[in-house]
Structures are given as structure tokens and as C-alpha cells.
Amino acid sequence: MKAVVDAAALLAAEPGEEVEGINLLIPADYDIIWSLVAAAIIAFGFYKLVLPKFTAILDERTEKIEGGLARAENAQAEAAEALAAYQRQLTEARAEAARIREEARAEGGVIVAELRQKASDDAARILENAQRQIEAERQQASVALRAEVGSLATELASRIVGESLADSARQSRVIDRFLDDLEASTAAGATAPAAGRQEG
């Protein structure tokens, strides 16, 4: 091959001579050698320096992304669990609250009923006392009145008997006088009712 190239070079060396076209397809030895060198350098660079680094980075990135996804899934599961627990607690709390409210309502009803009962008892008792007192006072009044009416009747009768009852004018005058006396005694009795009552 070198011989061919050298021959071509010699041919080309003549001024005005062209290089043979076939030389474009037959590599010179220096061409092959420097091609090998260039290919070896590029191959070394990519095989040993460039691709391992980029592969490692790609793998690491994939791992990071997968790890991140797994973590996110975990976090989501945890969140869902927490939410469920929270809702369970909430439901429980609501039920508890409803129960407490129900109990309170029942208790309140009992208390109200008790109070009402007590109040009506008190009212009945107070009413009874009042009636008893009124009855006592009425009896006392009636006793006093009976005694007084008796004495009045006696007095009136004695006065009527004492006076002449033939004359109706006199009769009415007697009655008027009696009533006036009664009024006067009543007025005196009003100023000192206790004395009046003692009299009765």
C-alpha cells in the first residue's frame, strides 16, 4: 500500500500532474495510523470518562426520582390514615356529644318536673294554710259576731220594750238612735279595735 502511495506521490510530484483518483479510496499508511489514534482517543474518552459518568448520573437520577415517588406514596398513605383516624375520632366525639346532650336533656326534664312538683306542692300548702287561717278567722268572727249580735239584740229588745212602740214615728226614731249609737260605738271601736274585740 505504501508503494502505491509513494508512486502516487512521485507522480504528483511532477508539476502539473494530478493525483490518481484511486488514491481517494486506498488509504495511505499515515492516514490509517492517525485514524486509529483519533478513534482510540475518542473511544477512550467516551468509554472510560464520559459515558460512565453520565450513566451513573442517569441511574442516580432515576433512583432519586423513584425514591421520591415512594416517599410521596408513603406520605400520602400516612395522610390518608391520619385523615381516617381524625374522622373516626370526630364521629366518636359527635356521638359522645349527642349522648351527653340527650342525657342533659333527660336530666333537665327530671329537674323541671321535680321543681314543678315542688312548686305545686308549695302552692297547695300555702293555699291550704291561707284557707285554714281564713276559716279560723271566719269562725272567730262568727263567734264574736254571734256574741255581739246577741248583746245587741238584747239591748235593742230592752230599748224597744222600754220605749212605747205604738207610734211608728217614735219607733223609727228609736231605731235611728240605736243605729247612731251603733255607729258611734263602731267608730270608737275602729280607733281601738282591740278594745272592741275584747268587748266582744
Partner 1 sequence: MPASRVPLHPRPGECALSTVATNHLLAASGEDGGFHPPSIAEFFPAPFLFEGTPFEMNRIILVRLLVTAVLVLVFVLAARRAKLVPGRGQNVAEMLLDFVRVNIAQETLGHNARRFVPMLTTIFFAVLAMNLTGVVPFLNIASTSLIGMPLVLAAWVYVMYLGVGIKKFGVGGYLKNNLFPPGLPPFLYVLVTPIEALQVFVFRPATLALRLTANMIAGHLILVLCFGATHFFLFQASGAMKAFSAMSLVAGVAFTLFEILVAALQAYIFALLAAVYLNMAVEEEH
Binding mask 46-75 for partner 1 (x = CB under 8 A): xx-xxx-xx--xx-xx--x-----------
Q: Does 2 contact partner 1 by CB under 8 A?
A: yes
Indicate the residue among 17 and 167 with the shorter CB distance to partner 1.
Answer: 17
Cell numbers of 70, please? Answer: 415512594
CB 88 → partner 1: shortest distance, Å? 42
Report how far residue 39's alpha carbon sits from residue 34's, in angstroms, rounded to the nearest whole number.
8
Per-residue DSSP letters for 148-197?
HHHHHHHHHHHHHHHS--S-HHHHHHHHHHHHHHHHHHHHHHHHSHHHHH
Are the beta carbons of 11 and 19 closer than 8 angstroms? yes
User: Shortest distance, CB of residue 4 to partner 1, whole angstroms?
Assistant: 13
Binds partner 1 by CB under 8 A, chosen from 23, 163, 178, 182: 23
Nearer to partner 1, 36 or 130 (CB): 36
Please state, in angstroms and rounded to a whole number, the distance separating the CA atoms of residues 7 and 26. 13
**Residues lying near partner 1 in the complex (CB under 8 A):** 2, 8-9, 12-13, 15-19, 21, 23-39, 41-47, 49-51, 53-54, 57-58, 60-61, 64
